[in-house]
């Protein structure tokens, strides 16, 4: 694991947002043909008003500063497809035409953003814009590692958000490389992510260390043992994963994601890998009522709003919804990448019920 530190001034994001923790889980899979896909769940304690967004090349953006004035101005080098929140005009989960994908994940209690000064305001971005900037500017993980040295993330409140959202970020490219970017103690910390797994707090290096507590787990069932002439057999299959944590906390989800993705038998191609990723992510689906917390507004019930998978070789964005488990695909190649306007597609639906008549 390697780590780079980029110095920023500190601005701690408080724990007031903990009642609305975004309990997302991310994974990556490699197919037999060498292609890679990555997927994630999207959880929150309220509706994020998700909508699909296609950003063309050469589209103009301006960062938002905490006081509402304009920050960094930039133009999209690459076209992007993905999801935005609260009808915003930036993608917070998506993939660009070069197969680079980015996901925004909640990071409460740890995220610390930069302080705006006269010297840095022209390279300042809000927490949601940072992900959009990466998607529109870079073609590979290596480029991102170098590029993030030029910007800062400021504690600006994006459109629709009631508070400054505390985020960390996962980045994947078509070669399978992945990194996690975390704003810690006023600095951007970049971790190599060889497992392709991410959840939420605490820090990414802590999650990697915590894997050592589960080194005994295996997809192979335990063998029959003989104790003083008594044959002891398993009750059924699955004994190799006895002790696997099953709750929805970030540490437990990280362990399950690492085990399930690493144990997955490689699919033949990227489409099969996409479907396999959806099956694995079923393990992290939160039913309404299973995760609750109290806030000033009352009881908050967190659940899985959506699940998305990105095919980095075909440059396609797949998603399914809480109200409709039908898998939908949006291929970036279907759009005019040099259009002058962004395109919006619906991320709403109703579960179809099909009558079967013999």
Indicate which residues carry an active-site annotation: 24
CA 272 to chain centre: 21
Strand pairing category for 298-311 and 124-125: unpaired
Q: How far is CA 339 from CA 76, 335, 336, 354, in A?
A: 12, 8, 5, 38
In total, the chain counts a number of residues equal to: 358
Task: Give which of 224, 228, 259, 262 is closest to 244, Cα–Cα.
Answer: 259
Dihedral over Cα of 254, 84, 174, 5: its sign = negative
Quote the CA–CA distance of 200 and 21 in Å, as a whole number: 9
Task: Give which of 173, 30, 148 is closest to 98, Cα–Cα.
Answer: 173
Quote the CA–CA distance of 348 and 321 in Å, as a whole number: 7
Q: How far is CA 11 from CA 156, 182, 268, in A?
A: 11, 13, 46
Quote the CA–CA distance of 48 and 87 in Å, as a whole number: 9
Who contacts 280 (Cβ-Cβ below 8 Å, separation ≥6)? 27, 29, 39, 257, 260, 261, 264
Task: Give which of 79, 95, 84 is closest to 53, Cα–Cα.
Answer: 84
Helix (H, G, I), strand (E, B) or coil at 318: strand
Helix (H, G, I), strand (E, B) or coil at 298: strand
Dihedral over Cα of 283, 109, 152, 67: its sign = positive
């Amino acid at each position: 694991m390697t780590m780079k530190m980029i110095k920023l001034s500190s601005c701690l994001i408080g724990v007031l947002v903990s009642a609305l923790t975004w309990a997302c889980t991310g994974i990556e899979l490699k197919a037999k043909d060498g292609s890679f896909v990555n997927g994630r769940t999207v959880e929150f304690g309220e509706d994020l008003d998700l909508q699909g967004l296609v950003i063309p090349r050469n589209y103009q953006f301006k960062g938002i500063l905490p006081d509402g004035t304009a920050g960094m101005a930039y133009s999209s080098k690459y076209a992007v497809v993905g999801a935005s929140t609260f009808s915003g005009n930036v993608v917070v989960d998506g993939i660009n035409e070069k197969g680079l994908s980015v996901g925004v994940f909640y990071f409460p209690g740890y995220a610390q953003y930069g302080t705006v000064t006269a010297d840095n305001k022209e390279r300042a971005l809000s927490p949601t814009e940072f992900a959009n900037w990466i998607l529109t500017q870079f073609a590979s993980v290596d480029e991102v590692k170098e590029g993030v040295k030029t910007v800062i993330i400021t504690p600006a409140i994006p459109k629709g958000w009631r508070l400054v959202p505390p985020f960390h970020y996962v980045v994947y490219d078509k070669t399978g490389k992945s990194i996690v970017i975390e704003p810690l103690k006023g600095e951007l910390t970049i971790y190599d992510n060889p497992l392709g797994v991410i959840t939420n707090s605490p820090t990414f290096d802590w999650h990697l260390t915590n894997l050592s507590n589960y080194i005994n787990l295996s997809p192979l069932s335990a063998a029959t043992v003989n104790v003083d002439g008594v044959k002891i057999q398993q009750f059924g299959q699955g004994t190799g994963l006895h002790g696997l944590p099953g709750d929805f906390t970030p540490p437990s989800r990280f362990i399950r994601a690492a085990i399930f993705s690493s144990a997955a038998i490689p699919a033949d191609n990227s489409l099969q890998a996409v479907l396999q990723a959806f099956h694995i992510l079923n393990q992290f689906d939160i039913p309404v009522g299973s995760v609750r917390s109290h806030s000033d507004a009352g009881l908050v019930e967190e659940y899985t709003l959506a699940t998305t998978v990105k095919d980095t070789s075909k440059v396609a964005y797949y998603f399914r919804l809480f109200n409709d488990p039908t898998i939908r695909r949006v291929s970036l190649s279907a759009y005019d990448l040099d259009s002058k306007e962004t395109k919006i597609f619906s991320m709403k639906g109703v579960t179809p019920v099909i009558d079967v008549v013999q």
